[in-house]
Amino acid sequence: MNDAVGYAVSGASPESLEHFETACDELRCFYRDPVATVDRALAASPELVMGYALKAWLHLLGTEPAGIHVARECHRAGAALPANDRERRHLEAVRLLAEGHWHAAGRALEDLSIAYPLDSLALQAGHQIDFFTGQTRMLRDRIARALPAWSTSAPAYHALLGMHAFGLEECGNYAAAESTGRRAVETQPRDSWAQHAVAHVLEMQGRQRDGIAWMRTEPRAWAEESFFAAHNWWHVALYHLDLNEVDAALEIFDGPVFGKQSSIVLDMVDASALLWRLHLRGVPLADRWEKLARNWFAVNSSGSYAFNDFHQMMALVGAGRLAAADELLAAQAAASERDDDNSRFTRDVGLPACRAVRAFADGRYGEVVQLLRPVRSIAHRFGGSHAQRDLIDLTLFEAALRGGEGSLAAALSAERIALKPASPFARLVGERAGLGAPGAAKEGRVKRTG
Q: Which tens digits make up the pLDDT trace of 120-148?
A: 999 999 999 999 999 999 999 999 999 99
Mean pLDDT on 96-109 = 98
pLDDT (0 to 100) of residue 438: 39
d(CA 78, CA 332): 33
**Confidence at 440, pLDDT banded by 50, 70, 90:** very low
- Mean pLDDT rounded to a whole number for the chain: 96
Proportion of the chain above pLDDT 90, given as a percent: 96
Q: Tens of pLDDT along 291-305?
A: 999 999 999 899 999
pLDDT tens digits, residue range 36-79? Answer: 999 999 999 999 999 999 999 999 999 999 999 999 999 999 99
Confidence of residue 405 (pLDDT cuts 50, 70, 90): very high
Q: What is the identity of the amino acid at 86?
A: R
Task: Say if CB 36 and CB 22 are below 8 A apart.
Answer: no
Query: pLDDT grade, residue 99 (50/70/90)?
Result: very high
CA atoms within 13 A on the CB side of 276: 30
Whether the predicted pLDDT of 179 surpasses 90: yes
Has residue 324 got a pLDDT over 70?
yes
- Give the residue ranges of DSSP H helices in 243-364: 246-252, 265-280, 288-299, 306-318, 322-335, 341-345, 351-361
Contacts of residue 410, Cβ cutoff 8 Å, sequence gap at least 6: 430, 433, 434, 435
Of all residues in the chain, the percent with pLDDT exceeding 70 is: 97
Residue 5's alpha-carbon distances to 8, 12, 190, 327, 372, in angstroms, are: 9, 15, 21, 49, 47
Note the pLDDT of residue 446. 40
pLDDT of 449 higher than 80: no
Q: Which domains are assigned to the chain? A: 231-450 (1.25.40)
Residue 166's CB is within 10 A of a number of other CB atoms, namely: 29
d(CA 154, CA 161): 12
- Decide: 194 and 162 in contact? Cβ < 8 Å: yes
Which pLDDT score, from 0 to 100, does residue 436 have? 67
pLDDT tier at 415 (50, 70, 90 boundaries)? very high
pTM: 0.96
Query: Which of helix, strand or coil describes residue 146?
Result: helix
pLDDT at 448: 40
* 357: Cα within 13 Å, side-chain hemisphere: 33
